[in-house]
Structure 1
Amino acid sequence: MTPIQVLHGQPTPEELATVLAVVQSRAATRAAAGPAAGPASSWTVRVPRPLPAPGPHAWRTSLWPR
């Protein structure tokens, strides 16, 4: 695990322990899921789309399927 560094403020030992517990828990969950889990949602998959051609109705046709 990469080192964690506090950049601003002075957290109490309890606050720091809480943050580290959450980070470690999330890292363990992600590691257990493995690489075959894929993206969390299909909304996060980015599909490159060509830019719309300039013209008076480009804004209207920019989301039409191509």
Structure 2
Amino acid sequence: MSERPLLRIVRGTPTDEELAAVTAVVAALAAVPSPPPPRARPLWTDRTALLHAPLLPGKGSWRASGLPR
């Protein structure tokens, strides 16, 4: 296993306090678990298709039937 440093200073000369603050933030972010991925729902449970307005017969209905829902 290679011993790589956690942080590498590329530019500047930070103080000990600045290095401690950056190290604390990086360590805290690394300790937070990532949220689980969202569950995929089966298509047959998707009820959004039922939320569109009903199509009514009449003048211009054919045009309204082609609009995205």
- For the superposition of Structure 1 and Structure 2, which TM-score range results when normalised by the shorter chain? 0.3 to 0.5
Structure of higher RCO (CA pairs closer than 8 Å, 6+ residues apart): 2
Structure 1 or 2, whichever has the larger Rg, is 2
User: Where is the helix percentage greater, Structure 1 or Structure 2?
Assistant: 1
